[in-house]
Structure 1
């Protein structure tokens, strides 16, 4: 498991290496929901995924992205909100063998 560092801002892009994958994450808050895009290299593999508590952002096992991305609410069971990113809501990457 890897904790992905985030900032408490409503929109952000982050480049990170996850399990030998060059990954770009784009997070944006729209109204009460947070959405995520995931690129591996130059290929968009996830587009506009709704972020929920303890739910894999990767919708299908066949997607060309190894592992899974999950938000975890450390204080309850609410979907993530930008103002609590990296404190109340943390983003974790789980390797394939951890899923």
Structure 2
């Protein structure tokens, strides 16, 4: 498991090397929740995915992404909001060995 550092701001993007994949993650706070886009090699892999506590973002092996991403609430089971990013709500990368289908 690798924690991806985020700031407690509504809209941001971060680049990270995840499982030997060059990734860019865009996180946006909207009226109805927090949403994420995942780019691999500058190509959009998944877009507009709702961010929920302990719910994987990619979920589909056929997309070819090695591993997955998810948010975790370190103080309970609430869905993430931008004001708690990087502290209460952490974005984590799970490598393939950590995934349970």
Report the TM-score range of the alignment, normalised by the length of the smaller protein.
over 0.9
Q: Which residue of 2 aligns with 1:77?
A: 77
Match of 1:53 in 2: 53
Counting only pairs closer than 5 Å after superposition, residues 39-50 of structure 1 correspond to structure 2 as 39-50=39-50
Q: Is the 8 A contact 1:32 1:81 kept in 2?
A: no
- 1:10 equivalent to 2:22? Answer no
Q: TM-score, normalised by structure 2?
A: 0.94
TM-score norm. by structure 1 comes to 0.96
Find runs of 4+ consecutive structure 1 residues off by over 4 angstroms.
none
Across the two proteins, how many residue pairs are aligned to each other?
A: 99
- Deviation of 1:60 after TM superposition, in Å, equals 1.3
User: Which residue is equivalent to 1:88?
Assistant: 88
- TM-superposed deviation, 1:88: 0.6
Q: For 1:68-89, what per-residue CA distance to the aligned partner results, in whole angstroms no more than 9, with x for missing partners?
A: 1010001111110000001110
**Structure 2 unaligned regions, length at least 5:** none
Q: What's the RMSD between the two structures over aligned residues?
A: 0.8
